[in-house]
A = this chain, B = another copy of it.
Amino acid sequence: MFVGFVGLGNMGAAMASRLVGAGHRVRVWNRSVGPMEKLMGQGAEAAGSLPELAEAEIVLSMLANDEAVRETFLRQGLLAALRPGTVHANMATVSVSLAREMAGLHRERGVSYVSSPVLGRPDAAAAGKLNIMAAGSADAIAVVQPLLDVLGKTWRFGENAEQANAAKIATNLTLACAIEAMCEAAQLAGSFGVSPVALLGMLTETAFASPAYKLYAPLIAREPTSPAGFSAALGLKDVNLALAAGEAARVPLPFASVLRDAFLESVAHGEADLEWASALARASRRRSGASGSPAGVLTPPEP
């Protein structure tokens, strides 16, 4: 298929690359040139300008946030350039209200709008192992399904695009809650001299033996050594998406309120760029008057 792809951050680039590798014709566009050149080296076409993406049958977007979607599709005119019958699948984590608004604006132009945000990090994208939450008209999803199948497994959440966003936002909230729960548990047990490594090790081999817990436990029990895969600033953004969706639907979310304050405290302490799990762990330690190594106790090496 002939695919236009806009938004070549870490995730977008990995996804576009995967589509190229699967033999699709992929025309890419990005605000900065570097990522485009890299994709060209893998066989992608570079659009000469943003509107040239509109020549594709399908446009996939993986832009940073609501504002970037508005900038690209509305102010810079990509939506206006799309021909009736085109399908646009927005794969980023954006707000429910943006999804609703975009679905309406696309409909007016005869363009189908599909929300298909993804769960997974760039390595999962590169391996075609993303989990994709899709919502939109069945016909439009059927059009993009071959592309989604290259990227991972699709989970359907309804006929209204915003439903996939609600599912994705709820998923990210669940992730953030799991992290905070581990932080509180580690800090509590650690204050009695229990090694966070030992506690979280047990949890992630028993009741919580799942990818999410296994991914984040080490970031909580030990100080991070590598750049953030997902930062506290992005955590704050995601929690705000949950709170905004909750407010629109009149759903109080007390855990989300706690998380908002915790991420805000992280940002206030200059830790906006820290891995979100590490940031919550530090906030937990800070509240307890501890500092230095995780949970305020020396964490012994794992046996």
Contact = CB atoms under 8 A, between A and B. Distances in A.
Interface of A: 96, 119, 131, 133, 155-158, 160, 162-163, 166-167, 169-171, 173-175, 177-178, 180-182, 184-189, 191-195, 198-199, 202-203, 206-213, 240, 242, 245-247, 249-258, 260-262, 264-265, 267-270, 286-290
B256 A268 contact: no
Contact of A289 (B160, B188, B250, B261): B250
Given A268-B287, A286-B286, 12 more contacts: A158-B193, A166-B191, A171-B207, A173-B188, A174-B185, A187-B251, A209-B210, A209-B211, A250-B267, A251-B268, A253-B261, A257-B257
A30 to B, nearest CB: 28
B167 A189 contact: yes
Most buried by B among A119, A174, A258: A174
A181 B180 CA distance: 10
B289 A167 contact: no
A82 to B, nearest CB: 26
Contact of A174 (B170, B181, B195): B181
Given A173-B181, A181-B178, A202-B155, A192 B96 contact: yes
Given A252-B261, A255-B181, A186 B202 contact: no
B287 A188 contact: no
B255 A255 contact: yes
A188 B170 contact: yes
A81 to B, nearest CB: 27
Contacts of A251: 184, 187-188, 191, 264, 268, 287-288
B207 A186 contact: no
A268 B255 contact: no
Contacts of A177: 177-178, 180-181, 184, 255
A185 B210 contact: no
B119 A207 contact: yes
A255 B210 contact: no
Contacts of A96: 192
Contact of A254 (B192, B198, B258): B258
Contacts of A255: 177, 180-181, 184, 255, 258
Contacts of A287: 251-252, 261, 265, 268
Nearest to A204: B210
A240 B260 CA distance: 13
